[in-house]
Amino acid sequence: MLSLSVIAESTTIYAKPDLSPLGQNIADQGSKYYTFQSKVFESDGQHHRYKVWLGIAKNADRTKSQAAIYLLDGNAVMDRLKDDLLKQLSEQDAPILVAIGYDSKLPFESKLRSLDYTPADETGKPSIDPRNPDRMSGGSQIFRQFILNTLDPWIASQVQIDKNRKALWGHSYGGLFVIDSFLNSHGFSHYFAASPSLTWADQRILNNAEKVSPTQVNGQNLMLFEGDLNLKKHEKISPNLDLKMIENNRKLSLILQEKGANTRLLIYPNLSHGQVFQASLLDVLNHRWF
């Protein structure tokens, strides 16, 4: 049975993200509760320079395997992590934080994430993003190989991860990557897709979900997040806006549920596509749904 929840969001969230260059984050400033280190990687396939932040609670027992969550759009995520949140996490079952960003000062690298986070068409090769001719798309398989084959071994050299509590979170195009990874790998135990751009490329990810073998997703855990905020009159429409966002998320959940997946859809009243970024991030961390 499809689990659908509605949560009243009380966190103060701004409607539009600030796309100006970022200043210091909690890793630069230092945390009382988490130790952070960062490393820059270069992907052989995409020739992108990724900056990855690894956060481990200072009170963690490093002799034991730990729960971990991999967070896409890592630059923006790190800008949102504050010590009061990390204090709360450290007082509970503090998860390992793996923020995957780019070697950049910007919160979002639109061209790079467009290629990395989206699934390829039937050719299996990158192609022009149908929403923006100035961007490429379809590189999710290569990006996933980077995470599983390059990033994971480095993480394993630093800390032990509990494979049964290894989560992946992403928003918008990042949400597409989460779902694409859910359909094509068993690299994670829990998948969190926040306001995924399901109408992208003629609903490619929905079509892929309909085709996936039940053996691939049976027993796997996927949680979807969406806001229900309606557009105001004359408000500019974002290319990422899905006018049937809740309906499409429900459709995806039911498709995968029929194949044996464990799915859940959480709806935020009065939150927009962009606002779901922080709301879902905080909820996943605070409620520890992995």
Instruction: Catalogue the active-site residues.
Output: 172, 273
Specify the pLDDT at position 8: 41
Listing DSSP states for 102-158 in one string gives: ESSSSS--HHHHHHHHS---TT-S-EEETTEEEEEE--HHHHHHIIIIIIHHHHHHH
Helix (H) or strand (E) holding 67: strand 66-71
pLDDT of residue 170: 99
Contacts of 64 (CB under 8 A, 6+ apart): 160
3-state class of 47 per DSSP? coil
What is the percent of the chain where pLDDT is above 70? Answer: 88
The CATH H-level (homologous superfamily) assignment of domain 3-11+27-287 is Alpha/Beta hydrolase fold, catalytic domain (3.40.50.1820)
Q: Which pLDDT value is given to residue 7?
A: 46
Find tokens 């996936």 and name the residue.
Answer: 212
Q: What is the pLDDT of residue 234?
A: 40
By the 10 Å C-beta count (0-12 exposed, 13-18 middle, 19+ buried), 219 is classed as: exposed
CA pair distance 234, 76, nearest whole angstrom: 28
Residue 96's pLDDT is: 99
Question: Per the confidence metrics, is the pTM higher than 0.85?
Answer: yes
Residues of the chain with pLDDT under 70: 1-18, 45-46, 230-243
pLDDT digit string (tens) for 198-250?
Answer: 999 999 999 999 999 999 999 999 999 999 986 554 454 555 556 689 999 99
pLDDT for 19 equals 74
pLDDT at 59: 97
Domain extent listing, the chain: 3-11+27-287
pLDDT of res. 238: 53
pLDDT for 44 equals: 72
